[in-house]
Structure 1
Amino acid sequence: MASVFGHALLGATLGKLLLPSRPGWPWWLLAAACAVLPDADVVGFKLGVAYADLWGHRGLSHSVAAAAVVATILVLLIGWFRRGQHAASGRLWVLLFLATASHGVLDAMTTGGLGVAFWSPFAPERYFFGFRPIQVSPIGVSRFAGAAAWRVLRSEALWVGMPCLLLWWSQSLWRTAGRQGSR
């Protein structure tokens, strides 16, 4: 898996890109949380769930279907708590779906594990992408230390951090050019 840092950064970046005009940071934090959420499946290890099972790590929780369910539930909850205000929009759903689904995308770009069950529960096969530059992160806080942490964070800085910074910078340039062009 990619680290929590890489997942959260990508989720927050998607928030910045898709909801730039709102008072963004609460939505960016929610998107970052959605991007990290699929790794809650590691609790299954403590409960005796095997890695390769439907409920195992990188299984159902990392699927496109799970991303759609998470986005739908969150948008409905937000709409309910905001008493039907338009905050629960389609754009917010797209953000939360993409942020949650981005988790599997990053994991499919790592150098280890069993692959990602993108189409679970409909198809159990697990996939990696042909391009796998992100060093796999050890599972567990105690194992994410020292040389292992440095190796993972260095690869994520290059393959997640730099593209995210470039996207933020590009959006900023685009918006600045748009404001100057409308004068």
Structure 2
Amino acid sequence: MASAFGHALLGATLGKLLLPAHPNWPWWLLAAACAVLPDADVVGFTLGVAYDSLWGHRGLSHSLLVAAVLAGSLAGLAALRQPHPQLGRLGLVLFLATASHGVLDAMTTGGLGVAFLSPWDQQRYFLGFRPIQVSPIGISRFAGAAAWRVLRSEALWVGIPCLLLWLGLGFLTSRSADTQR
């Protein structure tokens, strides 16, 4: 798996790109949380759930179905609490943020792959391009040389692209504001 830092950064970046107005920053944070949430399945290790089972790590919780259900549910709850003028876009952001988790994990150098099509297909997939160093599972294992290796890899393959997207959006927004004056 990629680390929680890489997942959260990508989720927040997707939020910023698709809901760029500054008042939407709480939705960027929710997108960051959605991007991290699929790894809650690691609780299964302490409960004796097999890694390669439907309920195992990178199984159902990493699927596109769960991303769609979570995004739809959260967007629906948001609409009940406070009508959002861009509800469809909010749902899309939350779906993409949640689904991005599996994509990053499928780009790592370890694990069993990601069950994107679960529960219908238990096949686990990796992408053909796997530059991200796999993060150790568990906070106690994420320390020292292992943490540095993972964070260095994520800075290159997640952090820099996200930073460029944020800077690019800022540049385009400022150029757009200049042309409207």
CA-atom RMSD, angstroms? 1.0
Q: Which residue of 1 aligns with 2:153?
A: 155
Deviation at 1:88, TM superposition (A): 6.8
Shift of residue 179 of structure 1?
1.5
Q: Which amino acid aligns with 1:36?
A: V
Q: Is the 8 A contact 2:78 2:84 kept in 1?
A: no
Alignment match of 1:124 (pick from 113, 122, 126):
122
Deviation at 1:87, TM superposition (A): 5.1
Runs of 4+ with >3 A deviation: none
Q: Deviations over 1:104-162 (max 9, x none)?
A: 00000000000000011111100001110000000000000000000000000000000
Question: Which ranges of structure 2 fall in alignment gaps of 5 or more residues?
Answer: none
The one-letter code of the counterpart of 1:29 is L
Aligned pair 1:178/2:176, yes or no?
Answer: yes
Q: Within 1, Cα distance between the matches of 2:5 and 2:123?
A: 27
Question: 2: distance between equivalents of 1:48 and 1:61?
Answer: 17
Whether 2:112 is the aligned partner of 1:108: answer no
After TM superposition, the structure 1 = structure 2 runs for residues 9-20 of structure 1, keeping only pairs within 5 Å, are 9-20=9-20
SS at match of 2:109: coil
Letter of the structure 2 residue corresponding to residue 12 of structure 1: A
Native 8 Å contact 1:79 1:87 kept in 2: no
Q: Deviations over 1:47-70 (max 9, x none)?
A: 111000001000000010010000
Unaligned regions of 5+ residues in structure 1, if any? none
Paired residues of 1:70 and 1:97 also in contact (CA < 8 A) = yes
Amino acid of the residue matched to residue 19 of structure 2?
L
Mapped partners of 1:169, 1:88: distance in 2: 23
TM-score (norm 2): 0.97
Q: Is 1:62 aligned to 2:73, yes or no?
A: no
Superposition pairs of residues 136-155 of structure 1, within 5 angstroms: 136-155=134-153
Alignment check: 8 A CA contact 1:76 1:88 kept: no
Question: What letter matches 1:64 in structure 2?
Answer: L
Q: Percent identical across equivalent pairs?
A: 73
The alignment covers a number of residue pairs equal to: 181
